Structure 1
Amino acid sequence: MSKTHGFDTLQIHAGATPDPTTGARNTPIYQTTGYVFRDADHAAALFNLQEVGYIYSRLTNPTIAVLQERIATLEGGVGAVCCSSGHAAQIMALFPLMSPGMNVVASTRLYGGTVTQFGQTIKRFGWSVKFVDFDDTDAVKAAIDDNTRAVFCESIANPGGYITDLDAISAISNAAGVPLIVDNTSATPYLCRPFEHGAALVVHSTTKYLTGNGTVMGGCVVDSGNFDWSASDKFPSLSAPEPAYHGLTFHETFGPMAFTFHGIAIGLRDLGMTMNPQAAHYTLCGIETLSLRMQRHVENAVKVAKWLEADPRVEYVTYAGLESSPYFDRVEKICPRGAGGLFTFAVKGGYDACVKMIDSVEIFSHVANLGDTRSLIIHSASTTHRQLTEDQQRASGAAPEVVRVSIGIESAEDLIADLDQALTKATA
């Protein structure tokens, strides 16, 4: 499948061919743990990374391989590694780059679980994080030091829907010789292609928009193939001999695919954050309608956001697709097909009014997820961002008076009517 085909074609066909044995048109679910080797030499070549193939489904699986190629193709990358969740993908992305004493510079506008993972959990690996407002490029530049090994942000930030100036941030990270990792979950490659804006790596929670139906967990790390891992001694996992493979050097041996091969041969081998082949199948099915769904998500989000902005019971709306948004000018440059379906709004009456509203919706589902065909709503300060201080909540866009919505593909008029009646009850 040529990468020159249009997005709508690639989302259906990339990585997949009819099954050579049965002719099955859909990618089969290869529900197997192991694979029979042709002979002893074949097995040895696979284990020595001298030949590409299937060994054990913790490492590689044919169903997952199709998904990896499809996501990599849609993102414009050279390879991808799928794993068990979006959180797993973040660790998988950092694992080849970090070592004790090293740090990552991250945006303050991140999903609350990511703030906790970076701010607390990775300390146990001896890693640290510096949270910075990525709208302040001077602060980003100042935060990078000799021990920085990655810069991390979201293309469309959860929960507020803020759009990151990826060109400005990548210019800073590339000048410092460290990769920019972009979480593209909220945008998907249909709305944003971070590699075209200088990113080195992309991560996804495939649980969200890529699958699109709230059925399975998954994550993915996509490699641009453009970062020079041997330009300095900062990334020995990729540029120095690997003892576990008899001194093989990943970057020297695999070139642009070095990060991808390391993710499989080391990351999945030792961390074991493996995706389930059935989950890969569901996600492949979901991706086939990605462009159609994203168009409707954006169309509905614009209608709902404009209605909310005009409602006197609402303090403000953060949707970047509104002309009043300070991020409106970035939409055309970073997300030319629209600002996504995720944003927040502040309810007059504060925390208590938000809780009453959540309890009053009928079509919206009170769910700790996003990117579903169904419209979802949550009060981030009391749920997904509950572990953060109020200052951290406000910095990430999840203030106590704020409600997050993930706009689905239902009738926009029905969604507005549901919010209207819920706001009436919440602010009575």
Structure 2
Amino acid sequence: MKKLTLVATAVMGLLSTTAAMAQSTVTLYGLLDGGYNHVSGLRQGSVNTIASGIMEGSRFGLRGTEDIGGGYKAIFTLENRFELDTGSVTNRPNSGAQLPDRLSNAALMGLPGAVQPVLNAVGASIGSTVGVNIAGNLFDRQAFAGLITPVGAFTFGRQYTPGYLTSATFDATQTQSSLAMGQIATFPPSVDIRLSNTVQYGIQMSGVTATLMYGAGEVAGDNAKGRFYGGMAMYKGTGFSVGVGHNTRNNELGQKSLTDTVLGATVNVGPGTVYGQYAKIKDDNPTGLSTIAATVTPSVGAATAALIQNAYINGFKQDANLMHIGYRLTRGVHTVVVAYNRLDDKRPNNADTASYGATYTYALSKRTNLNAVLTRFNNKGLGQAAPGGNGFLGGVTSTAGTDSTNIAFGIRHTF
């Protein structure tokens, strides 16, 4: 799949494609992706499933544009995710509600063993939220409307964030399969992929694509709570491209939370393209943990409850470097990607993970292809990541330091 497939309905894609559209159009589009998925190293052993989203998450959507004259176009996108194997709009990882040992074991969290039953209850509550679109929203992937003007595009709604678009552009896999860079940093999430309640401005000219995004926390009486800012700029030249993206979001208390800065580049080498990127991930005030103490105080008392909440906050903090290098080669009906990814955790947990492998795509036609994936996850220290796919999370392996292998075969069809 070409790079712009991933972001075709985002601002950068709209700016480059709408000029060729008719005066008023509504397009139904979609993607069906599923197949066999094998993952080793899980608590239940090796797991073999039929999965949706081996390479890309299955979806369908509506995209519309109306030329209203004077260089202005009204646009909208509504995009729904679904599971090809079940028809559901949600999914859970193979490891279910299991949390990494560093977030569920009293000793590793620096707490007395007597509070383990309380941790089990808290962990089950947190673990129940791990998955994709657990709320079951109809248009969870994208839902926005906007206006393209002579000075850029303005869009409002649920959209991809600038930091994520930058990372996706400079990933040799285009975020496809378990070999994608983000797969080794899904819990806690290393980047906000999409956000609701956002307004975005985008512009594209002379090889430069840039966006600015603001996300409203929409908390009455305190605009800082949940607020988001992001921006990115990319330049595509002859045989190379470079880019930078930045996201930062506040937690429910208005404190600065998950922040990412991504630097990426590509260069044509031989018959293919080398991709590389570096991301700095920082989160000193994780989101959604401020009520733990109040919840467990009746069971353990206020003093111990505060210790438990602080232990979870420390466990969910992030300070890591995420790196990717890959090579993508397309020749006729064949596309091969090889890549290496590394998450270097700077926290005392030292939850390091590296992944490497290859994917192969054979194009049966312009819209249908067959895919094969082989990815190895190496977990060190308290690292415990398991491989997933573009459409689903991998979860965690059986214990800290346990490695995992993913073998997958699938078919993908676009319409």
Tell me, yes or no, whether TM beats 0.5: no
TM-score, normalisation: structure 2: 0.24
Higher normalized strand content (fraction of residues): 2
TM-score, normalisation: structure 1: 0.24
Higher normalized helix content (fraction of residues): 1
